[in-house]
Amino acid sequence: MDYELVNMLNQTLLPQNQEKLYLELKFENEDDRENFHCVRNLLSQVAQREEAQARTTELRKAWKAGQATINQLETKEEEDVAMIT
């Protein structure tokens, strides 16, 4: 069963177009089927959380870059005003 479980876990994160593979899995009993679906759902949640964290990291980088640009523009504006006066 360990090999089968590893196989099932590996298949858990397959793209949706390969969903039919889940239907072809053979389970020894209903508990195995239920456990598989629980683990699959858990791994799906973990993957979604990792994707959300990656998006958050990218947004933070973009925000910091935007703030740096704003600061540069403000500094340049102050320098321009100082040169005019």
pLDDT, averaged per 10 consecutive residues of the chain (85 residues), comes to 59 56 64 81 86 91 93 90 81
| Radius of gyration in angstroms for the set of CA atoms belonging to the chain, rounded to a whole number | 25
For residue 40, the model assigns a pLDDT of 81
Q: CB of 8 within 8 A of CB of 42?
A: no
Which pTM value belongs to this model?
A: 0.50
Cβ neighbours of residue 5 closer than 8 Å, sequence gap 6 or more:
36
